[in-house]
């Protein structure tokens, strides 16, 4: 601040014309000392605008325009975490942010949407609003979501707002548990494309290796530039004292421009396309471990393919009859539910003199894990809760007064999926398979021993 104070002092001395040359020299000297910083700010802004224009998180964009499930924090604090099902949209310059678009049949409070469009038509006289209302109405009728006549739909300002998407801003990334693309959601064409994608990762061609090398080189350059940028800013600040605000702006623009170039993690880079073990702070607040193929990583996320992803399910029986609305996922769904078929059934049911006996049978195509059986105020856990397909487990419970009793079974199913985890929730802790060099070394050792 000293040069600025000196300039002000000379300007106030109006009756000293001989001071004018000194003022000019002082101003020029100060501008010259600031010029490197000004140039750095301009370069930082230009680089930032160029990179920002095309920047998308390189992990998130793997799922661009795919149908996914976003597992999210319990926003309404009702004890169930949120699950948003829809197509993921990633706008330019999003830096990890994205949006989940629901299908029309999954829009929340669709009647209000139709009513709103009808009101817009009456207010503006523009037929496009009425046509849109009729189009959405017909699709909802075909899906069985609306059973009221179009002309009977009236706008109610006090009804719940309509919702057709979920926006996830950059500062909300910490609230994500996982973004999951289930194989069930993929078409045959998309499955073939995914297999080709994995093949290219596992056996990368020359062009792919070159592009990856360039990307990694730029990431290393970025790290060096960030360090150099800090040194230059610090040095210039000492040479030409400037306000803290200007220093912060210089650092902000420089880091913004360089921060988008990419990231390089040596311990992750050497595992791309290979089986890894991932430690996850999971949706049920427990630490869980997963295996899968590491597809990509970024400063915000990691993508792991071919993961056995668990889904919490609930089935409620009256006696041995499954209630119509079950099985049901233990999640607060937005969009539409997974609509899983029945996974378990109760057979050999008998309730006599307060003693309840029955068998649980796994009729699912894959393993299930029965976590808890609840009958009235009694809770039961099985000694071996892991059921293989068609496996049967016998259950006995005494002093059951209700007849027929309500039997609530909490369990997990597995769905094969590709998963994006935020780095705040997941960490690759090791390989899931031995390296090729280790295998070759072991084989050579065996050959030596044999001979």
172-205 pLDDT, tens per residue?
Answer: 998 999 999 999 888 888 888 888 887 777 666 5
Residue 132 DSSP class? H
Cα–Cα distance, 62 to 420 (Å, whole number): 9
Roughly what angle, to the nearest 10 degrees, separates helices 206-239 and 244-259? Answer: 170
pTM as predicted: 0.73
Residue 339 lies in a domain: yes
Count: domains in the chain? 2
Residue 365 DSSP class? S
Measured CA angle at 326 (ends 322, 328), to 5 deg: 150
Residue 332 lies in a domain: yes
pLDDT value of residue 390? 94
Could you tell me the residue range of the domain that residue 359 belongs to?
308-420
Residue 355 lies in a domain: yes
- Please give the C-alpha separations between residue 59 and each of 64, 164, 294, 373, in angstroms, as whole numbers: 10, 24, 11, 40
Measured in whole angstroms, the distance separating CA 63 from the mean position of its chain's CA atoms is: 10
Residue 218 lies in a domain: no
- Please give the C-alpha separations between residue 217 and each of 247, 263, 331, 387, in angstroms, as whole numbers: 28, 10, 43, 49
Query: For residue 53, what are the contacts with CB-CB under 8 A and spacing of at least 6?
Result: 92, 93
Cα–Cα distance, 239 to 330 (Å, whole number): 62
Question: Is pLDDT larger for residue 58 or for residue 358?
Answer: 358
Take residue 113 and report the two structure tokens written for it.
């949407």
268-326 pLDDT, tens per residue?
Answer: 888 888 999 999 999 888 999 999 999 999 888 999 999 999 999 999 999 999 999 89
Strand partners, 387: 368
């Amino acid at each position: 601040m000293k040069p600025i104070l000196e300039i002000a002092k000379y300007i106030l001395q109006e009756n000293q014309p001989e001071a004018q040359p000194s003022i000019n020299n002082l101003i020029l000297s100060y501008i010259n000392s600031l010029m490197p910083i000004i140039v750095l700010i301009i370069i930082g802004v230009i680089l930032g605008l160029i990179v920002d224009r095309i920047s998308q998180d390189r992990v998130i964009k793997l799922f661009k325009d795919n149908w996914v499930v976003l597992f999210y924090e319990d926003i309404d604090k009702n004890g169930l975490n949120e699950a948003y099902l829809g197509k993921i949209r990633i706008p330019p310059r999003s830096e990890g942010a994205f949006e989940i678009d629901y299908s029309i049949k999954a829009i929340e409070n669709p009647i209000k949407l139709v009513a709103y469009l009808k009101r817009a038509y009456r207010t503006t006289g523009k037929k496009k609003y009425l046509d849109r209302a009729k189009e959405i109405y017909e699709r909802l009728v075909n899906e069985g979501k609306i059973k009221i006549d179009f002309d009977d739909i009236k706008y109610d300002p006090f009804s719940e707002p309509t919702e057709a998407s979920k926006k996830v801003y950059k500062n909300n990334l910490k609230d994500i548990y996982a973004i999951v693309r289930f194989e069930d959601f993929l078409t045959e064409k998309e499955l073939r494309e995914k297999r080709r994608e994995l093949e290219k990762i596992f056996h990368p061609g020359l062009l792919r290796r070159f592009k990856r090398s360039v990307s990694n080189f730029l990431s290393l350059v970025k790290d060096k530039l960030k360090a150099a940028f800090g040194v230059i800013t610090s040095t210039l600040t000492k040479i030409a004292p400037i306000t803290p605000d200007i220093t912060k702006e210089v650092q902000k623009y420089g880091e913004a421009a360089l921060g988008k170039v990419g990231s390089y993690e040596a311990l992750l880079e050497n595992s791309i396309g290979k089986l890894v073990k991932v430690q996850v702070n999971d949706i049920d607040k427990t630490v869980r471990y997963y295996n899968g193929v590491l597809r990509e990583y970024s400063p915000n996320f990691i993508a792991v393919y071919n993961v056995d992803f668990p889904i919490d399910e609930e089935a409620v029986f009256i006696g041995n009859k499954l209630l119509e609305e079950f099985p049901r996922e233990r999640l607060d769904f937005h969009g539409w539910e997974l609509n899983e078929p029945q996974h378990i059934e109760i057979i050999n049911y008998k309730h006599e003199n307060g003693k309840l006996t029955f068998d649980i049978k796994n009729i699912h195509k894959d393993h299930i894990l029965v976590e808890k059986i609840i009958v009235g105020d009694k809770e039961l856990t099985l000694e071996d809760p892991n059921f293989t397909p068609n496996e049967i487990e016998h259950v006995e419970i005494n002093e059951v007064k209700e007849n027929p009793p309500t039997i609530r079974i909490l369990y997990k199913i597995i769905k094969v999926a590709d998963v994006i985890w935020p780095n705040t929730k997941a960490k690759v802790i090791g390989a899931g398979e031995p390296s090729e060099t280790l295998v070759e070394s072991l084989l050579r050792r065996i050959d030596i021993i044999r001979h």
